[in-house]
Amino acid sequence: MTSAVKVRKVGTDKPPTRASKFLQNRWAGLAGLLIALLAPFVNASPYALSVMTSAAVFVMLAAGLNIVVGYCGLLDLGYVAFFAVGAYTSGVLATRFDLPLPVTVPFVIVVTVIAGIVIGAPTLRLRSDYLAIVTLGFGEIIRITANNLDVTGGPSGIYGIPHLTESPVVFYYLTVVVVSLAVVGAARLGRSRLGRAWRFVREDEDAAEAMGVNTYRVKLAAYIAGAVWGGLAGVLFAAHLSAISPTSFTFLQSALVLMAVVLGGMGSIPGVVVGAVVISLLPEILRDLADYRFFLFGVLLIVVMLLRPQGLWPARSREVS
Amino acid sequence: MTQLVWNGLFVGSFYALVALGYSMVYGIIKLLNFAHGDLYMLGAFAGFAILGAVGGVSASMALPVLLMVLVATMLLTGLAGVALERIAYRPLRGAPRLSLLITAVGASFALEYGMRAAAGADPRVYPVRLGGTSLEVLGARLTLQQLVLVGVAVALMVGLNTLITRTREGRAMRAIALDPRTSSLMGVDVNAVISRTFFLGSALAGAAGVMAGAYYGKIDFLMGFLIGLKAFTAAVIGGIGNIPGTMLGGLLLGLLESFGTFWLGGEWRDVFAFGVLILFLTVRPTGLLGERVTERV
Amino acid sequence: MRAIPLKSLTPLVLLGLLTAGCGQGLLGGDDQAPKGNGPILLGMLIPQSGSEAAIGPYMSNAAQLAIDEINAKGGVLGRKLELKTADDACDAQSAVAGANKLVTEGVNVSVGGYCSGATLPTLPIFGKANIPMIIPAANSQELVDQKLKHVFLINGTGSQQAAAADKWMTKEGAKSVVLVHDNTSYSKDIALRTKALLDAPGGADAVLVETVTPKESDYSANVTNILAKKPDYVYWTGYFQEGGLIVRQLRQAGYKGHILLGDGSVSPKFIEIAGNDAAEGVYATMTQTPDTLEGAENWIASYKKKFGTDPGPYSNQAYDAVRLAAEAIGKAGGTDGTKVVAALEGIDGFPMFSGPLKFTPEHTLSNGGFQILVVKGGKFALQDSLK
């Protein structure tokens, strides 16, 4: 019995609540976008903009990981590897070859696809928990390599990455637009033929195989899609911070992205967005508590999960009657 | 050469002790208990507090006193593990398995930064240190204290293995690992057994914490994070859920690190260890001694 | 388990979006922090969480001590000083958020910066807001190479420390040296610069650069590597947490040669972790510290009285950063960033722990002031001023 099967069963046994009906409504997405677009009119201090931009980038990361974990049911503990690959690829090209950031995007896509294949191809036949440790290992390998090589700037990383725009407000809106497109793209991918195959694999890999789905290729596709999303988020990250260093790509970061996905509700796009916003903003809201900040963060995570074990905004499978 | 082997085995026995708790908990409720490394930290601090309360200890009495502290700490961290399970994991037993991962990470944050608030961010130094003079054995330099620590670790591991394979209690654990629902129908008190599993696993982590504190001397509130990660790796190498496999996995990881440092230098050590791990798992996807489970639907 | 209505969560999200307060929206007025007669705000980015969390309080305490002393004497230009700290967690993303927070709070001068990797991305943020930065601890070469007008480093640089280490080991007649670093930018920088100096013809040779992973307990594998080279000097360029363990494990493994530490390891905690026996006779490259300065006992006493602990790593630099900021603001006659920068550039002979201050054109200390300390009777004491 795979764990994924169990996960779904619990999820679908639940009668549709008011909340899960609401999520089917595409107004929810528009409302979220509206909040994001209007937020700067409420508060456009450099601090608020910086935090909100980071949150938007984090949403994109979570949307990418959701393809891997939420749709396809592959536990990935090293997702930050792709984020790092994207950020470093664009950072290195922008600073060492003086390419403008948008020009680096095609390179980033190529490199992350390769990274997805390299990491995915030998490992996707593993059982879920072994897959978890292998992805964790790859995440650490990427970070340590970036820390040791000269081309990536060693431990101090790459600095002086040109900003996309001078104004943080414009950059924030740019980020929101890109991230919205990425989120919508991920959602559409989830509803496509490939997306159905992903969920089939997640629900029951053997049955999928028996029905003629090439499960290995389907899983690899999920991995590559997740890698590209992560890599592009890395470009935004590099443009936002203007400097990247290995400390941004630790295992903890992978764990946080995974938490965003699970906290929101695996496989549910609105859930993942809400989860990512909560995970990235909560430590900032708690910033003034100084010493107790992460203590409270931990306690709140437990409390939220105890109250809503399916996630804040769980997915409702349409296939199940 | 023998020095490298000895270094690896010594570090590996710590990994194995911590990994056992990971593996037991995983075996029985399929939970990756990310807070497990922090129980190791908790053990180190509990031992520190007890030693502080006991007061001055003369050098000759160091070992016996430490053994007593070890036992007391194991009790304390064991109870902490039980409380952790009761508060953060048990209410979620029917929920998606990854929800438990969130509460585990949440518990990890709470333990680390709770300890930071209680004891401060500065590292603490154990009042009793196991120093000792070194002796040469087969060209390797080791100390009597190291031997004692490895002895304690091995004794704990053997004891645990006996408990699991030879006693009623152990049989109940293995039954739950196979099928919790049927076990409860057969009259096994599932909750009680899971609690005891947490007690044992956490006590072992606490023991490792005290031993590390007494041998290395320095403890701090984040000391459990890295070893938790290493222990998880060790448990997977050995075949997660499998007790003898986990012990082997811990020792093997210690050896990999020791030789990796020697061959490639410290900066590439973890790349080497993880690289070997990945290659190994692609060849043998269930770890050293993990059973070849056909995935049933 | 009963689902909680989703509505109850919406306020949380909204709260998040509104967090930093109101009246600062795109349409709102440009009401910055109070100017004129309010307190002068000094911002300080330091690690308060994460792996380097232990360092933060040493720096913020010392800064607070300086501020209290200055305020007790009436402040600067008749205005009080006030410290605003923010957590950078030694991580770029937290540092950027923290720096933006300080800018939003309207700080006038930044007196923080500990991890180089986390300080680098904050340079343009403070630069854009025309806020001068006096960086007390972070000292990697990348901070200097950008030649930014608003950035001043008051910690000795890696090259100055490496020069001091080279000078001392050559003077001691060292033959073979092993350099050990922890793969952070600060530590690696010093190790590699020292290696470059040692590799020059004549004198000592660097036989190995060994890297350790910070935050671990067992360094026996590294110790084995070091001993295999049979060095007569080992130079550890990282921090005291690992330094104490490495020195202890080196001595336990029977290493009889000399040991030299970088300034990040000069702390009473180092001796405590290594143990008195192992630490005795260990040398260190260090700028002047309260312990080695005459007349600084009072400073240590007042720090201890106020915070209950001894000052630690970078306490004196943080203290000096605040005093320097106050001096420059006073000279500039206000908090205008450009004027403060000009005042900082013009400072000559301002007394600091590291000696009289005058900035080089690169805005670093003209004299690193590195000297050699030795652990004697469980305390760091001056061995050689390298003059």
pLDDT of residue A1: 35
Mean per-residue pLDDT for C321-338?
94
Q: In this complex, is the C-beta atom of A145 within 8 Å of any C-beta atom belonging to chain B?
A: yes
How many Cβ pairs within 8 Å bridge chains A and C? 160
**pLDDT at C152 > cutoff 70:** yes
Residue among A125, A126, A306 whose CB faces B91 most closely: A306
Which chain A residues in 26-45 lie under 8 Å from chain C, judged by CB atoms?
Answer: 35, 39-45
Q: Are C256 and B138 in contact (CB under 8 A)?
A: no
- Concatenating the DSSP letter of every residue in C58-123 gives HHHHHHHHHHHHHHHTT-BTTB-EEEEEEE-TTSHHHHHHHHHHHHHTT-SEE-----HHHHGGGH
pLDDT of residue B5: 92
pLDDT of residue B140: 79
Phi/psi of residue B128, nearest 5 degrees: -110, 125
pLDDT of residue B57: 65
Query: How many Cα atoms occupy the beta-carbon half-sphere of C266 within 13 Å?
Result: 27
Residue among C22, C105, C120 whose CB faces A159 most closely: C120
A3 found inside a domain: no
Mean per-residue pLDDT for C243-252?
93
Which chain A residues in 280-299 lie under 8 Å from chain B, judged by CB atoms?
Answer: 291-295, 297-299
pLDDT of residue C349: 87
| Closest-CA distance of chain A to residue C185, Å | 5
Which chain A residues in 105-144 lie under 8 Å from chain C, judged by CB atoms?
Answer: none
Domain count, chain A: 1
Query: How many Cα atoms occupy the beta-carbon half-sphere of C163 within 13 Å?
Result: 12
Ranges of each domain in chain C: 37-156+297-353, 158-286+370-384
Helices and strands in chain B: count of H runs, count of E runs: 11, 4
Q: State the residue for tokens 């129908």.
A: B185
- Closest residue in A to C30 (Cα–Cα): A45
Q: Do C252 and B265 touch (CB under 8 A)?
A: no
pLDDT of residue A182: 95
Ranges of each domain in chain B: 2-283
A215 found inside a domain: yes
- Closest residue in C to B221 (Cα–Cα): C51
| Closest-CA distance of chain C to residue B71, Å | 22
Q: Do C93 and A241 touch (CB under 8 A)?
A: yes
Residue among C9, C125, C142 whose CB faces A312 most closely: C9
Residue among B97, B277, B286 whose CB faces A137 most closely: B277
| Closest-CA distance of chain A to residue B253, Å | 13
Q: Do A310 and B96 touch (CB under 8 A)?
A: yes
Angstrom CA distances, A179 to A56, A85, A182, A273, stand at 7, 18, 5, 10
Label residue C28 by pLDDT band (50, 70, 90): low
- Let me know the angle formed at the C-alpha of B24 by B23 and B25, rounded to the nearest 5 degrees: 95
CA distance A130 to A239: 34
Mean per-residue pLDDT for C216-227?
92
On chain B, the residues whose CB falls within 8 A of the CB of C222 are 261, 266
Q: Are C268 and C375 in contact (CB under 8 A)?
A: no
pLDDT of residue C297: 79
pLDDT of residue C13: 44
Query: Into which CATH architecture does domain C158-286+370-384 fall?
Result: 3-Layer(aba) Sandwich (3.40)
Distant-in-sequence, close-in-space partners of B3: CB < 8 Å, separation ≥ 6: B139, B140, B141, C224
Q: Are C24 and A45 in contact (CB under 8 A)?
A: yes
Identify from C2, C31, C100, C209 which residue to disrupt to test chain A contact, counting A C-beta atoms within 10 A and taking the largest count: C100
Label residue C35 by pLDDT band (50, 70, 90): low
pLDDT of residue B292: 52
**pLDDT at B59 > cutoff 80:** no
pLDDT of residue B295: 40
CA distance B84 to B39: 10
pLDDT of residue A195: 92
**pLDDT at C9 > cutoff 50:** no
CA distance C253 to B6: 13
pLDDT per position as a tens digit, B127-136: 877 766 677 7
- Look up residue C2 and give its DSSP letter: P
CA distance B252 to B129: 27
Give the three-class secondary structure for A240: helix
Buried b (16+ CB within 10 A) or exposed e, A70-81: bbbbbbbbbbbb
**pLDDT at B91 > cutoff 80:** yes
Closest CA to A130 of B291, B233, B244, B98: B233
Distant-in-sequence, close-in-space partners of A262: CB < 8 Å, separation ≥ 6: A69, A275, A311, B96, B98, B99, B101, B102
Mean per-residue pLDDT for C172-184?
92
On chain B, the residues whose CB falls within 8 A of the CB of C245 are 216-218
Q: Are C41 and C79 in contact (CB under 8 A)?
A: no
Identify from C217, C226, C247, C280 which residue to disrupt to test chain B contact, counting B C-beta atoms within 10 A and taking the largest count: C217
Buried b (16+ CB within 10 A) or exposed e, A139-167: bbbbbbbbbbeeebbbbbbbbbbebbeee
Domain C37-156+297-353 has CATH 3.40.50.2300: yes
Mean per-residue pLDDT for C102-131?
92
Which pairing describes strands C133-135 and C151-153: parallel, antiparallel, or unpaired? Answer: parallel
pLDDT of residue C44: 96
Other Cβ atoms less than 10 A from the Cβ of C238: the count is 25
Q: Tell the burial category of A223 from Cβ atoms under 10 Å away from its Cβ (0-12, 13-18, 19+).
A: buried
pLDDT of residue C290: 63
Quick check: ipTM above 0.95? no
Which pairing describes strands C379-384 and C151-153: parallel, antiparallel, or unpaired? Answer: unpaired
Q: In this complex, is the C-beta atom of B231 within 8 Å of any C-beta atom belonging to chain A?
A: no
Sign of the dihedral through C-alpha A303, A308, A313, A314: positive
Buried b (16+ CB within 10 A) or exposed e, C267-288: bbbbbbbbbeebbeebbbbbbb
Same fold: C37-156+297-353 with C158-286+370-384: yes
Instruction: Show which subunits contact C, needing at least 3 CB pairs below 8 angstroms.
Output: A, B
On chain C, the residues whose CB falls within 8 A of the CB of B218 are 217, 241, 244-245, 273
Which pairing describes strands C258-261 and C233-236: parallel, antiparallel, or unpaired? Answer: parallel
- Concatenating the DSSP letter of every residue in B87-101 gives IIIGGGTTS-HHHHH
Structural domain of A218: 51-250
pLDDT of residue A15: 47
Identify from C120, C128, C209, C211 which residue to disrupt to test chain A contact, counting A C-beta atoms within 10 A and taking the largest count: C120
Q: What is the pLDDT along chain A (321 residues), one digit of tens a residue?
A: 334 433 333 334 444 455 545 555 567 778 888 888 888 888 888 899 999 999 999 999 999 999 999 999 888 989 999 999 999 999 999 999 999 999 999 999 999 999 999 988 888 878 777 788 889 899 999 999 999 998 998 888 898 898 888 888 999 999 999 999 999 999 999 989 999 999 998 888 888 888 888 989 999 999 999 999 999 999 999 999 998 999 899 988 998 999 899 988 888 888 999 999 999 998 888 887 767 888 988 998 899 889 988 888 887 655 443
What torsion, rounded to 10 degrees, do the Cα atoms A307, A309, A310, A311 define?
60
Label residue B268 by pLDDT band (50, 70, 90): very high
CA distance C98 to C121: 11
Query: How many Cα atoms occupy the beta-carbon half-sphere of A54 within 13 Å?
Result: 27
- Look up residue C36 and give its DSSP letter: S
CA distance B206 to B76: 8
**pLDDT at C385 > cutoff 70:** yes
On chain C, the residues whose CB falls within 8 A of the CB of A240 are 96
Q: Are C322 and C350 in contact (CB under 8 A)?
A: no
CATH topology classification for B2-283: ABC transporter involved in vitamin B12 uptake, BtuC (1.10.3470)
Asked which of A22-31, B220-229, C217-226, C283-292 is least confident by mean pLDDT, the reply is: A22-31
**pLDDT at B281 > cutoff 60:** yes
**pLDDT at C23 > cutoff 70:** no
| Closest-CA distance of chain C to residue A275, Å | 10
On chain C, the residues whose CB falls within 8 A of the CB of B116 are 53
Q: Do B111 and A298 touch (CB under 8 A)?
A: yes
pLDDT of residue A117: 94
Crossing angle of helices A293-307 and B97-119, rounded to 10°: 150
Give the three-class secondary structure for B266: helix
Q: Are C139 and C354 in contact (CB under 8 A)?
A: no
**pLDDT at B79 > cutoff 70:** yes
Rg (CA), chain B: 19
Report which residue type is found at A89: T
pLDDT per position as a tens digit, B152-187: 899 998 999 899 889 998 889 888 888 888 888 988
Q: Are B18 and B36 in contact (CB under 8 A)?
A: yes
Instruction: Show which subunits contact A, needing at least 3 CB pairs below 8 angstroms.
Output: B, C
- Let me know the angle formed at the C-alpha of B71 by B65 and B73, rounded to the nearest 5 degrees: 100
pLDDT of residue A52: 94
CA distance A52 to A40: 9
Could you tell me which residue, A101 or C354, shows the higher pLDDT?
A101
Angstrom CA distances, B173 to A176, A254, B25, C104, stand at 51, 32, 10, 57
